[in-house]
A and B are shown apart, each in its own frame.
Chain A
């Protein structure tokens, strides 16, 4: 018995299943629409403590580094503190959470550190 056509069909189905996430993300409208990219609201326009591009990639490194320095050495760098983030981005809901939920990151900073979800007036 020739099983060749059956094998090809099974392999094709398997390939489609394997590639389904890429197909899901690649096509545009309706069911297969992309998740919209988060729009970040910046309350106080102006320059961040570093370049925006740099901050997007490396803000966590800066926060971690200055966290360890602050706790262990007592180095309190005003620029690199969470409180300083809050001075331009007063609401965590409009800033941190938007990107973090988009990429599925769950930092634990705010279990203990104060940063309100909605800006305080």
Chain B
């Protein structure tokens, strides 16, 4: 989705960045709709939400937060590295960021798996037959973390494409919009998690 004027002579990185920021903005609104639901239901079922928060594994949640924060740093560092003509370092940093993404998803897999084992998933007997507030809490938990997980995947695809571009020499110290924008997207994924983590894991 990154534009190059056909003639190739007029590339405007600022404009490309404006476009990217607008897109990121729309992503925030996308999650915003879900956060509105969260706010409304939290108001109604604050006790059940606190009980639900107890069920979640704070250790894995905190670990995932750290993993994402570190990966955000390494992505930013990879952009600087490319601009300083340190291609090898840039590639290493990107590979490390991708590894962080994988760690995050593996953690998520085990986390969800543990919930499923304890009969806590949409439509499960515990949730349908139990407190309505708890059902809503876990419903939102699965939808929001699921949608976030999809965004992690998309971010990883973007980072992989950028990595290929760096390796093949298509992204250079002068033309690094693809990497730059993938980095922005990755920061967005990180940012949303920064909100998701306290809302679900630290809710009291």
Mutual binders A and B: no
Using a CB–CB cutoff of 8 Å, the interface residues on chain A facing chain B are none
